[in-house]
Amino acid sequence: MSERVNEKKNLPANGSKRTGTKAATPASPVAAAKAEAVLPALGPMGMLRWAWTQLTSMRTALFLLLLLAVAAVPGSLFPQRPANPANVTQYIKDNPDYGKILDALQLYDVYSSVWFSAIYILLFISLIGCVVPRAIAHYKAMRSQPPRTPARLSRLPEYGTLVIPADAGIPASSAISDAAGLLKKRGYRVDVRDADGARPSLGAERGYLREVGNLVFHTSLIGVLVSVAIGGLFGYSGQRILVEGDTFVNTLVGYDQFSPGTNFQSSQLQPYSVQLDKFQITFDRESQGKVGQPIDFKADVTTKESPDAPAQKEVLKVNDPLTLGGTSMYLTGNGYAPVVTIRDGAGNVALQGPVVAKLQGDNYYSSVVIKVPDAKPDQLGFQGFFLPTALVTDQGVSYSGDPELFNPRLTLNSFYGDLGLDSGAPQNVFEMDIKKLTPLNARNLDVGGISLAPGTSYTLPDGKGSISFDGVKRYIGVDIHHNPGQLYALIFALLAVAGLVTSLYVNRRRVWVRTGTHEDGRTMVEYGLLARGEDHRLAGESAAIRKLLAGAWKLDDGSQSAPSGTADNGRADATLPGNPTADFIPSSAGSSESKKDQ
């Protein structure tokens, strides 16, 4: 029996049996509580609230803004389909190994891709979630009174005292009124407390524009996002080549290439017209090593805002667009357009007019493609080059020696057969597939190629017709953009800059002034300043207020006052010898409350 009692006494406190010679370590109460604690499940609504809190935090908004900037980088690295579909097609052909993968990732349509739009929308929602609560809180703060006067002003970063002599006849209530008027003139909101009491005081605050600027900045970012979205939804852009004498009418069929916005309607197009009267290029003829370089472009045009509007003469230049019907027309390219007349085998005119030559090299060396689907009995095609100033090397290779029309020459190869246009499949006007065509003229054939000077003609072999080179005109390429959100984006961008500058240079400050009357009739004034956040100009503001108060009461600043910035460092000012305001320094009982107010 005694052995059993001894065994029970030797058991550990938690009731477990000994294993070996070392007892198990008893669990602490905290560890036991943690082990037994069961966290409540958030549930669907809790998860939504948590997700909304994370999304609407300023940290998330800044991260999304940075992510949006990074997501826009591929738009400058890869050709974009809305800007130039031909470049995208050529890029995929040149890079068959990864070109289609990039297309599947929407890297040729960055700004309309799913992932870019997702970042854009999340940033939009995050900014709204950040700005709205802060705006409401700031509105309430602006309507509230400045904080109550701290019990110990000497603990503030900037502190000072002034003494008004008894013979000045300025009681404590009048002194506090004077201080209130001066602070109001400096832009402070002032609240006077206990004006008729023995120790009146005031609280003043200014710098609310700092938070207003911050809110304006973030609200303007939302405005920029909305403006860009409006431009993407309701805007459009297009390109058109205009030869001298041609007229462009702002209709869908008037564009060579057209890229509408998501919600574009054809009714948005205002039917204005632009006629290219003359295009002039000024080439450099003086600078050594730069002779022949174009230095100025000028397009004389005739515009009409509507079919019934009067015609107006205007000038279109590089970086100086025309504005018509809410659109902007930019001069982006130019070149030569040889004027040709082509007759078919029956002698009928199958094509007549200017043919746009695509620039290929220096000195306006240009490629020419002419498709004549109306020729009978066989369709005709021509492929070659236009040389403004034709020269020939020792090897017999033609090239252009100058961009001006000093010796224009049109060199072509001719073909006949099916051009593939009757199938309805779109083709590039600057390219022609000659694999299914039969050559008529070429340098490697016995008949040779075609070489024409202005005013000359050539008869095609086998009675297929003829071609004549009638002259040369100039052409321009124009980009036309309509962005209804562009002006608003500019306005909001300027507001964002103004808000950012305001938030950086406006400081939030609070001032408290307390007055009282000494036994000998002197009026004692103490003041303190506190800034919200870092303010390196707070000392200068303190000196300015001190100077204003001293000037209002005609005091010799500093001769009858304690030094500014005096801090108690944990001891009562009443212990300082000769302190003129010792009778007005409250006890340390209010220090904790003062810290809370600060």
Measure the CA–CA gap between 269 and 324, rounded to whole angstroms: 11
Asked whether the beta carbons of 188 and 206 are under 8 A apart, the reply is: yes
User: Quick one: three-class SS letters along 363-429?
Assistant: HHCEEEEEEECCCCCCCEEEEEEEECEEEECCCCCEEECCCCCCECEEEEEEEECCCCCCCCCCCCC
Q: Quick one: pLDDT at residue 25?
A: 52
DSSP labels for 134-183? Answer: HHHHHHHHHHSPPPPPPS-GGGSSEEEEEEE-GGG---HHHHHHHHHHHH
Q: Which helix (H) or strand (E) holds 550?
A: helix 538-552
DSSP category for residue 521: S
230: CB partners within 8 A, 6+ apart: 484, 485, 488
- Number of Cα atoms under 13 Å in the Cβ half of residue 251: 7
Q: Quick one: pLDDT at residue 334?
A: 94
Q: Quick one: pLDDT at residue 575?
A: 30
Asked whether the beta carbons of 203 and 191 are under 8 A apart, the reply is: yes
Measure the CA–CA gap between 384 and 371, rounded to whole angstroms: 12
Q: What is the mean pLDDT of each run of 10 residues along the chain (598 residues)?
A: 44 45 57 68 81 86 90 89 81 88 89 88 88 88 86 92 88 90 92 84 91 90 89 89 94 89 85 94 84 89 90 92 90 94 93 94 92 92 95 86 93 92 81 90 88 94 93 95 91 94 90 89 92 88 93 71 41 34 35 36
Q: Quick one: pLDDT at residue 188?
A: 92
357: CB partners within 8 A, 6+ apart: 335, 336, 337, 338, 366, 367, 368, 385, 386
Which two structure tokens, joined as six digits, stand for 235?
């805007």
Which pLDDT tens digit goes with each residue over 364-376? 999 999 999 999 9
Asked whether the beta carbons of 590 and 598 are under 8 A apart, the reply is: no
Q: Say whether pTM exceeds 0.75.
A: no
What is the residue whose two structure tokens read 């007005």?
584
Class of the domain covering 145-205+507-597: alpha beta
Residue 475 pairs with which residues in a beta bridge?
243, 335
Q: Quick one: pLDDT at residue 232?
A: 83
> Phi and psi dihedrals of 329, rounded to 5?
-110, 125
Measure the CA–CA gap between 139 and 155, rounded to whole angstroms: 29
Q: Which helix (H) or strand (E) holds 525?
A: strand 523-531
Measure the CA–CA gap between 428 and 180, rounded to whole angstroms: 79
Q: Quick one: pLDDT at residue 411?
A: 94
Q: Quick one: pLDDT at residue 263?
A: 85
Which two structure tokens, joined as six digits, stand for 320?
């100086």
